[in-house]
Amino acid sequence: MNDIHPLHLLREARAIYSQSDLADILGVDVRTIRRWEVRENEPPPYLSDAIRQRILPLISAQTNKDYPFTFIDLFAGIGGIRMGFEKFGGHCVFTSEWNTFSQKTYLANFPADETHMFAGDITQVDEADVPDHDVLLAGFPCQPFSIAGVSKKNALGRPHGFECTTQGTLFFDVARIIAKKKPKAFLLENVKNLVSHDKGNTFKIILQTLREELGYEVHYRVIDGQHFTPQHRERIIIVGFRDKNDFSWDKLKLPSNGPRLSSILHSQDGNEKVEEPYTVGDKGKINPKYTLTENLWAYLQAYKEKHSAAGNGFGFGLVTGDSVTRTLSARYYKDGSEILVSQGSRKRPRRLTPRECARLMGYPDSFKIPVSDTQAYKQFGNSVVVPVIAEVARIVTPYVINEVKIDKNQQSKVK
C-alpha cells in the first residue's frame, strides 16, 4: 500500500472532493493543493503519510457503498479471519500486520489498492486515521495485563478504565479503535488459555473493557477446529455487538464427525497437480526433503522413551490418514514432532508439507505460499482455522447487515 504515490490518492479524492475540501482536510492552503496537482512541487515526506492516512479512508467510504458491510483486519497474520468474513460479502478497508513475512503472504493473496490501507505496526497508527468500518476483526496476541486498583487511581487523580488497565498491551490498540470508531460488531480470536491467564484476571479485564467501558454486548465461546479440519485446535472467539440483539451460539452448525487426515494429504497418485517443491515427479510424490533424517528420528524416539520412563507424556505425535492431529504450532519448522506422518514401518516419518499445513487450517489450494518453508510453518501454526471463522461469520453478519440497512434508510430519510 505504501507504494501508491500520494498524488495518485489526491487524484482519486478529487473525483469526490474539491480542492478547498482537501485543503481543509490536510490543513494546507488551497494553492498548495493546486501546485501538487500540476506537479509544480512534491508533497513533503511528512505530508505524504497524512495524505495516505486521511484521504484514503474518505475514498474507501465512497467506493465501498455497494458492499453489504465493511471490516478492518487487525493483527491480520496471513488473512484467515478476513477470508471468513469475505465469504459473506464483507469488504476489507484496512489491514494491520507487523511481520514482514506475513505481510508478503497476505499481500500475495489480498493485493492492496487505493480503497484499502495497509499498515504495519498498529501501535503507530492514530485511531482517527483508521477508516470507518462496520466490523472490527482482530486475532490479537495475548500479553500480560497489569491490574491497577481503580480506587487508588481515583485518589491519585489518574485515569482508569481501559486506558489504564490495558495500557501497554496490544489489546489496548483494539480497545482504542473500538472506542473511536464504534463499529457495529467485532470478532476477537485468541488461544483457549486466555480465559485462565493470570488466574482469570486478564480475561476479566478484557470483558470489563468491552462491556462496561465500551458498552458492547459480548459473547464468547471456545471452538475446536476439528469440527471442520482434522486437527484438535481449541480457540476462544469473542463476539461483540454495539446494539442489543438475539445473537446466540446455539445457531452454530458444528459437524459432529469432522474429516480425517487423509482428506488433506497429498494423494501421490497422479490425480493431484504437482506443486514443487512440495511434490515432485509425474505422480506428485512427496519431496524426500520432508522425510526426517536418521539422526532427528533417532533423537525424537530417544526423547520420547526418556520421558515415558519418567511418566511424562512428552514426545512426538505419529499420525496416519485416519488420525486427527495435535495442534499445529508455530514451532513446527523445528522438528515437526507434534505431527509426524507415518510412511510405513520401513520408512522414517515425514513432516507435513506447507501446502498440507494450509489445508489443515482450512485454506483453499488457490492460496499462495510465497515464503520459505520455515516461514510458512510459522504462519500456518499461528493462523486461525478458516472454516471456524466462516461459521461464526455466518451467524454474526446478518445482524451487521441489518444494522447497515437501518443506517442507510435513516440517512436517506435525512436527505
Cell numbers describing residue 27:
490543513
Select from 148, 177, 180 the least CA-distant residue to 164.
148
Q: What is the C-alpha to C-alpha distance for residues 308 and 136, in angstroms, rounded to an integer?
A: 46
Q: What is the C-alpha to C-alpha distance for residues 278 and 356, in angstroms, rounded to an integer?
A: 9
Neighbours of 161 (CB within 10 A): 16
Task: Look at the alpha carbons of 353, 357, 360, 362 in this order and tell me if their dihedral is positive or negative.
Answer: negative
Q: What is the C-alpha to C-alpha distance for residues 27 and 50, in angstroms, rounded to an integer?
A: 10
Bridge-based pairing state of the strands 318-319 and 340-341 = parallel
Task: Look at the alpha carbons of 344, 278, 379, 139 in this order and tell me if their dihedral is positive or negative.
Answer: negative
Q: What is the C-alpha to C-alpha distance for residues 275 and 277, in angstroms, rounded to an integer?
A: 6
What residues have CB less than 8 Å from 385, skipping those under 6 apart? 80, 225, 228, 229, 231, 233, 235, 361, 362
357 is catalytic: no
Task: Look at the alpha carbons of 283, 287, 292, 295 in this order and tell me if their dihedral is positive or negative.
Answer: positive
Residues 9 and 52 sit within 8 Å (Cβ to Cβ): yes
CA distance from start to end of the chain: 35
Residues 170 and 141 sit within 8 Å (Cβ to Cβ): yes
Select from 125, 103, 161, 102 the least CA-distant residue to 52.
125
Candidate list 92, 142, 164, 357, residue with the active-site label? 142
Cell numbers describing residue 360:
489443515
Residues catalogued as catalytic: 142
